[in-house]
Amino acid sequence: MDQIRFDDFLKVDVRVGRIVHALPFPEALKPAIKMWIDFGGDIGERKTSAQITVHYKPDQLVGRLVLAVVNFPPRQIGPFWSEVLVLGLPDSNGDIVLAQPDKNVPVGGRLH
């Protein structure tokens, strides 16, 4: 495993946001969901897509808190621009489960 310096870790801006809107993303090469996430304050609302269709349906995501990297440059996924990277972990089958706080915390909070 490669080691990083603590200063490198501090460059990654991971924030908590609340999903405010989610839609299927049928144009994606692999099944995915488009999401709009509110990070509050200076960051505001950002959009992303994620291959999380095994465990989630769009209507189940609205209102959910998630963790995301907010300081990556935008990335085009087909016809859609992804502005943040939502974090998740693979289950025993390799399907992604979203990383989220286990308590209600204010949107925009930064991971420490």
- Compute the mean pLDDT over every residue in the chain, rounded to the nearest whole number: 96
Say which residue the tokens 């989630």 belong to: 56
State both tokens at 112.
Answer: 């420490």
Any idea what DSSP says for residue 5?
Answer: -
In the chain the beta strands, taken as DSSP E runs, fall at 14-24, 33-38, 45-50, 65-69, 75-77, 80-82, 85-86, 88-90, 96-98
Check residue 1 and give its pLDDT. 87
State both tokens at 90.
Answer: 């693979």
CATH number of 14-98: 2.40.50.140
* pTM, to two decimals: 0.94
Check residue 25 and give its pLDDT. 96
CA nearest neighbour of 101 among 111, 93, 91:
111
Average pLDDT over residues 83-103: 97
